Amino acid sequence: MTNNQELNSAYEKAIKLLSIRMHTSFELTNKLKLRGFAADVITETLEKLKEERFLNDDSVAEAYVDSLIRYKTFGYYGIMAKLKQKGINFDLAEKIVSDKLSTEEEEKIAKKLMDKNKSSGLKAAESLKRKGFRSQVIARVTKSS
């Protein structure tokens, strides 16, 4: 394949992947690598997608955090870990999570998880810690139960 054909092929594959769901640059890079595209082709493809506004890590991270807060039971550190898995840089992740997840909101999520699991005390604290809740949230929620 000529370089131009490979670029078109990588671009088409990337568009197909993005039509299924939003991806971060990191995720898309990994998926294109798995499909055998060269690093320079992937880089050029990602740049084109960014220019055309089909690829935006900020938007993906914001939507993902909104989804995790609304539908899942993760605390601050749990959400930060999920963003790291998606290849979102720490500064961006911290900014988004700090903006979208107040301590009060995190407490509501922790209480919801405790009610769902019907747990209290040490067992609840351990469960909340595994889900990435901040220690001050865990202390406040387990004290009030």
User: How far is C-alpha 133 from the chain's CA centre?
Assistant: 16
Give the whole-angstrom CA distance, residue 86 versus residue 60: 9
Rounded (5°) CA angle 71-72-77: 135
Q: What's the pLDDT tens digit per position in 11-69?
A: 999 999 999 999 999 999 999 999 999 999 999 999 999 999 999 999 999 999 999 99
Q: pTM for this structure?
A: 0.87
* Helix and strand element counts for the chain (H, E): 9, 0
What is the structure's pLDDT at 114?
87
State the first-to-last Cα distance of the chain, in angstroms, to the nearest integer.
Answer: 64
Under the banding of pLDDT at 50, 70 and 90, the label for residue 145 is low
Q: What's the pLDDT tens digit per position in 21-35?
A: 999 999 999 999 999
What is the structure's pLDDT at 31?
97
Q: What's the pLDDT tens digit per position in 95-133?
A: 999 999 999 999 999 998 888 877 777 888 899 999 999
Domains of the chain and CATH, by start: 3-55 (1.10.10.10), 58-144 (no CATH)
What is the structure's pLDDT at 39?
94
Q: What's the pLDDT tens digit per position in 71-97?
A: 999 999 999 999 999 999 999 999 999
